[in-house]
Amino acid sequence: MEEQKVTPISRLGEFGLIDHLTRDFPLQHASSVKGIGDDAAVLDYGSKKTVLTTDLLIEGIHFDMMYTPLRHLGYKAVVVNVSDIYAMNAIPQQITVSLGISAKFSVEALDELYEGIRLACKIYGVDLIGGDTTSSLHGLVISVTAVGEADADALVYRNGAKPGDLICVSGDLGAAYLGLQILEREKRIYMEHPGVQPELNDAQYLISRQLKPEARKDVIRFFKEVDLKPTSMMDLSDGLSSDILHICKQSGVGCNINESAVPVSEDAYQTALSFNLDPITCALNGGEDYELLFTIDEQDETKISAEEAFTIIGQITEQDNGCFLVTKSGNRHALKAQGWVHF
């Protein structure tokens, strides 16, 4: 086996490292007037609206270096941000990436991280235009800010849902959470029995949903094609239960979610049972699926009903109704917000 090259970051120095990491990110957008290399990037949006979002990822909280390949981590750091831009019905255009790096990382490790960032930039069509690279005492910190653009009348906020609207999601839910459970289980086994090879082959789908999620660029494109503007939308990062509550709170409405309609993949369903977890609870509270949750006017139902990508999971109600999960047997359970579980 060829020995892997390990270059200490100190060999390049701060400015050398930044030049090295950002050397192969050609600007793709006319709106990227000036990218990396000055005090600030310069953007030109003419008459469009500019959309801006940011996410902070911290080692030990958002990712575990033991089972997270750096390439996937770089990719995911971009995806979670562009997902927020799509959730505004806008198109991502630029990102900045700031890194806090501890001494354990080599230049080659950071190259891998940037390979993932580069791939995401290509796939989602965004320009890397800036950032800040610094050292950290403890592990890796990644802060990504994404900028998008949209016509003013295309933007979809969280506050536009109205009674009678249909509640829809793209894709299926709970898989990312179950992928994490598998990775955590294999980590525990490895810690106790370092010789044992992890059993991950059967769980490719769930693990990829956790380590390398995709943002639903295709959904935004589809909305444009069929001339559908959701009344509200957000991306599913915290979990359906928390996220629909944000929409209900901001729109001043209630909701009924039909338990039997919530889309869960067969893989996720079986894996949940093998962990003695309720599949629906995983779908409601798991988070990190980066699917789109949106509401549409009832009259628009025909625009999406033929599409496999979407599931209608419930309906918006008057605020007095409250926010409920309705089970197959007709029981109603109040939906609860989850935040972090770290404190």
Binding to a copy of itself by CB under 8 A, coded x per residue (else -) over 47-86, reads x-xxxxxxxx-xxxxx--------------------xxx-
| CA 51/CA 275 separation, integer angstroms | 40
Decide: is 96 part of the binding site for a copy of itself (CB under 8 A). Answer: yes
| Sole binder of a copy of itself in the list 127, 165, 214, 235 (CB under 8 A) | 235
| Sole binder of a copy of itself in the list 119, 228, 277, 337 (CB under 8 A) | 337
> Within 10 A of 115 (CB to CB), how many other CB atoms are there?
15
Classify residue 329 by burial, with Cβ atoms within 10 Å: 0-12, 13-18, 19+: exposed
| Sole binder of a copy of itself in the list 22, 25, 36, 43 (CB under 8 A) | 43
Q: How far is the CB of 48 from a copy of itself (least distance, A)?
A: 9
Decide: is 334 part of the binding site for a copy of itself (CB under 8 A). Answer: no
> Dihedral of the CA atoms 83, 84, 85, 89 (nearest 10)?
90
| CA 200/CA 198 separation, integer angstroms | 6
Buried b (16+ CB within 10 A) or exposed e, 256-283: bbbbeebbbbebbbebbeeeebebbebb
Decide: is 303 part of the binding site for a copy of itself (CB under 8 A). Answer: no
> Within 10 A of 42 (CB to CB), how many other CB atoms are there?
12
Decide: is 155 part of the binding site for a copy of itself (CB under 8 A). Answer: yes
> Dihedral of the CA atoms 100, 54, 79, 263 (nearest 10)?
130
Decide: is 136 part of the binding site for a copy of itself (CB under 8 A). Answer: yes
Binding to a copy of itself by CB under 8 A, coded x per residue (else -) over 239-278, reads ---x-------x----------------------------
Q: Which of residues 97-116 bind a copy of itself (CB under 8 A)?
A: 98-100, 103
| CA 35/CA 127 separation, integer angstroms | 8
Q: How far is the CB of 222 from a copy of itself (least distance, A)?
A: 18
Decide: is 226 part of the binding site for a copy of itself (CB under 8 A). Answer: no
Which of 58/277 has CB closer to a copy of itself? 58
Which of 97/264 has CB closer to a copy of itself? 97
First to last CA, the chain: 44
Which of 8/26 has CB closer to a copy of itself? 8
Copy the structure tokens of residue 235: 């991306």
